[in-house]
């Protein structure tokens, strides 16, 4: 055999041996070791929150900023926005009235709550622009001692308001009921049998120069903790 032929056979044999050796190394390699994590390092793909997870802040009732102490009810009252978005009333983490629940109306929206148990007694709304104020007066006269009264305005709370209605609302602890005017915004939490004025009340006048919306003042939002009535 010529030398060139021998060299060619040797070269082919070396190639085959090398190929076999590489295949053996490849087949013996664990698939788990071939991953993006091994290529880039575990720190690149690791979720930093997995090993350093921060404890979630507990959600307060009604989504309030602060939690309420024992023997108190959490509440949040949001007035209507102009005549477009209705008000919402939350009490003890229960959404009592809202547009979603379809139980609000133009004028004044009321939720009556049992001051001892926190249970809902009644909800209602009274049109104070074109309705009959007598219906509101009759409603206010039926409220029993120990009842918490939540109120939120929507659109117009006062056009049909009369002195008797204002006096009854004032007796529930309101400071601003006597001053309510056309398209003012008002949120209030009072109660039947209060000896003093309620600390839970906000009011903003309808003033053309200061209104946030065209013809209406800005939305009012009030939250807090009202003490449970202890027998």
pLDDT tens digits, 117-151: 999 999 999 999 999 999 999 999 999 999 999 99
Residue 27 counted as domain residue = no
Helices 133-141 and 163-171, interaxial angle, to 10°? 30
Would you give the end-to-end CA distance of the chain in angstroms?
A: 118
Residue 111 counted as domain residue = yes
Residue 48 counted as domain residue = no
Residue 8 counted as domain residue = no
Residue 162 counted as domain residue = yes
Quick check: helix, strand or coil at residue 224? strand
Q: Which residue has the tokens 């400071």?
A: 175
For 40-76, what is each residue's pLDDT tens digit? 233 333 344 444 556 677 899 999 999 999 999 999 9
Residue 50 counted as domain residue = no
19 has pLDDT over 90: no
**Phi, psi at 82, each rounded to 5°:** 50, -135
54-63, 181-190, 200-209: range with lowest mean pLDDT: 54-63
Alpha carbon distance 67, 71 (integer Å): 12
Question: In the structure, what pLDDT confidence band is assigned to residue 218 with cuts at 50, 70 and 90?
Answer: very high
What was the pLDDT predicted at 223? 98
What was the pLDDT predicted at 120? 98
Alpha carbon distance 33, 195 (integer Å): 76
Residue 2 counted as domain residue = no
The domain in which residue 166 lies consists of 61-227
Alpha carbon distance 216, 83 (integer Å): 8
Residue 44 counted as domain residue = no
Count up the domains in the chain and report the number: 1
User: Which regions of the chain does DSSP assign to beta strands (E)?
Assistant: 72-78, 88-91, 94-97, 107-114, 120-126, 147-154, 185-191, 200-204, 221-227
Question: In the structure, what pLDDT confidence band is assigned to residue 11 with cuts at 50, 70 and 90?
Answer: low
Q: pTM of the predicted model, to two decimals?
A: 0.75
């Amino acid at each position: 055999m010529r030398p060139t032929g021998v060299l060619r056979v040797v070269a082919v044999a070396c190639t085959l041996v090398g190929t076999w050796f590489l295949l053996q190394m490849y087949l013996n390699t664990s698939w788990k070791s071939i991953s993006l994590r091994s290529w880039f390092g575990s720190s690149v793909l690791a979720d930093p929150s997995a090993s350093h997870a921060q404890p979630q802040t507990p959600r307060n009732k009604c989504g309030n900023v602060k939690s309420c102490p024992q023997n108190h009810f959490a509440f949040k009252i949001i007035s209507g926005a102009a005549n477009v978005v209705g008000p919402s009333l939350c009490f003890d983490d229960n959404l009592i009235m809202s547009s979603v629940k379809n139980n609000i109306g133009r004028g004044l929206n009321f939720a009556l709550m049992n001051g001892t148990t926190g249970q809902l007694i009644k909800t209602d709304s009274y049109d104070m622009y074109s309705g009959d104020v007598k219906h509101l007066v009759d409603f206010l006269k039926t409220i029993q001692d120990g009842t918490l009264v939540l109120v939120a305005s929507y659109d117009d709370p006062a056009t049909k308001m009369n002195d008797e209605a204002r006096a009854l609302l004032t007796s529930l602890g309101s400071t601003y009921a006597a001053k309510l005017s056309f398209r003012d915004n008002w949120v209030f939490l009072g109660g039947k049998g209060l000896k003093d004025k309620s600390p839970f009340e906000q009011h903003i006048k309808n003033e053309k120069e200061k209104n946030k919306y065209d013809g209406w003042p800005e939305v009012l939002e009030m939250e807090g903790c009202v003490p449970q009535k202890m027998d």
